[in-house]
Amino acid sequence: MEEKSRSLSVQKTDYDRVEWYVTDDEGKVVENLKGMYEPASAELHLEGLKKGEYNLLLLGIRGQGEEDGAVIHRLRDETDEWITFPSDLRRPLSAEYFYSRTPFSVNAVKGPAGEEETVAFSQNVMLRRIVGRVDFSLSFNNVYVRNAVVSQKARLEEGRFYTGLSGNGNYVGETGRFAQELDLSSATSYLFLPAVSGSSLRGEVEVCTRGYRGDQVRRVFVFDSVSVSANRIGQIHTSVDHPDDSQGLMYFTEEAYREGDYQRILQDGEPKEVYADSRQRSFNTSRPLQANVAEDGRLHLRFYSPRELRKVLVKARIPSAENEFFNLAYFESLPAFADFYQEMPLLLREGVYQTESGRYITLSRFEKEELRNMELKIEADDAYWDKLQKIKHGWNVSFNLYGGDPDKADGGPAGNWMGIRPVHCREAVALFINFTYMIDMPEHEEILRANEDRLYGNGGVGDKVTADVVLKQMRQERSLSVGLVYTGNNVYGLGGGSVFGAWQGGWFNHYTDTYACEVMFHELGHVMGYSHSSAFTYGPWAQELMNRFYVTHIHEMPVDSPDYLNSKNNPNKY
């Protein structure tokens, strides 16, 4: 009789290792068989089987069993131990383990030529997990308490588990008392061998949260009698009861803010119809962080800044309900150019809030119409914020295409202008924050007074201008519509009245390049009303005093480095 290869189809899955044996009807391992398992087709090919009844034993491992100390033993009989684990294993399993025992037959039939041949009865072989899984879940009554979680752990304090499996599928061995701490921040599902008869998991879940002032709260919740069975999922759910559940403060940790996927303004790809519309994108440099209640009742923060702001506290006052400001929201970090919208708990439920004097007040749920007159103010424990607060004489800044088209590769030049892009708008924010900070620096005032005899107006060197006049002109609130200058006509800057523009190199190099700053201050001289006959354009104010002061004092400015924006390496520049 011709010997032929027989195949059995195995449940297809991504096993990293497959072990198999064939046993006879007495449970003895059949020797001298040839076989090969093909992972791609999930087929087991066998040679050397005779007519009879058999069992196919399969062991599948997904993952690295050696990390669990798993040892696979050779079988001679189905009652032998096949896979074992250390009895002192004190942690969940890293890999998944699957097992099946499938009966099959080999029968004798007549072939086409009348000869007798053996044929394997083909069927799918289904493996099932020999391990159990335990899933932990937590629910919070207050989303901002959930945002403030520092750590969440489970401590397993009771439970005994089997340590192995025999060839016939019976569990063997027993661990000692199992004790383990699990980090639920990194994983919430864990694998175990089944618990021995009469044993179950017991333990506790610990949740630690932080408050926005740095305090921490630790809560412990006990769980009991959780079953761990093969191919089953045990659930341990903890409803976190927390003393801050009644708090109305919106607390955003850095992780919570990232998870919220809040938008940003003036980002690459923002439509020109948005950033070049002063109704949608404009700010005063003395108020770069704008806060208001949106039409739909959401809290809205918009930040015109190349730098993040840390430890931001938003306070509110509702005249109809409370005379004192109370803490409404806290941000561990507010990103550069943040555009934050979020529904407030004030519109959802009753809440407890802390006032500026330290009192705790309870405010009932409001309708959005009742918040129209809510006042907001902002505090931040950040040196950067301290510098922004020193900008007392802000200028209003918006952005203008001046006929250019930023969607075209060459900027769609129109006269001396080309389409400004967000990469340039962000630099304009940096420049004018720095400029309006500079005008109130004592060192800046000193250099003007020390060089007062070199300042002259449109009438030439005899038309003297005092330092007090220059300071008043620089500190006068102005509104500028900022654009990008086209250099094809050998023009590098444009300014006058409410118009201000510079070429791309000027926007990118104003931090360290005195020529770039000279062009900027030349055009600012025009904005202040001075002509080319004055010291404020082609003269010492723009070409020596201001440009050099800005560059040499950049480390003292609010935006003290080009690295925040890294515009020179931006792929969306011209």
Q: Which residues pair with 46 in a beta bridge?
A: 6, 35
Which stretches of 478-570 are DSSP H helices?
504-509, 514-527, 540, 547-552
Cα–Cα dist 8/125, whole Å: 7
Cα–Cα dist 191/203, whole Å: 16
Taking 50 as the pLDDT cut, the residues of the chain under it are 1-3, 119-122
Q: What is the pLDDT of residue 123?
A: 60
Residues 218-274: pLDDT tens digits? Answer: 999 999 989 999 999 999 999 999 999 999 999 999 999 999 999 999 999 999 999
Taken in order 383, 289, 520, 416, is the CA torsion positive or negative? positive
Q: What is the pLDDT of residue 199?
A: 86
Q: What is the pLDDT of residue 12?
A: 65
Cα–Cα dist 200/227, whole Å: 5
Q: What is the pLDDT of residue 49?
A: 79
Cα–Cα dist 342/339, whole Å: 10
Q: What is the pLDDT of residue 230?
A: 95
DSSP, collapsed to helix, strand or coil, labels residue 355 as strand
Helix (H) or strand (E) holding 18: strand 17-24
Decide: 536 and 530 in contact? Cβ < 8 Å: yes
Q: What is the pLDDT of residue 1?
A: 40
Q: Are strands 493-496 and 43-47 parallel, antiparallel or unpaired?
A: unpaired
Cα–Cα dist 206/389, whole Å: 42
Q: What is the pLDDT of residue 345?
A: 97
Q: Residue 53 to residues 9, 104, 167, 556: CA-CA distances in angstroms? A: 18, 6, 17, 88
Tokens of 175: 């661990």
The predicted model scores a pTM of 0.82
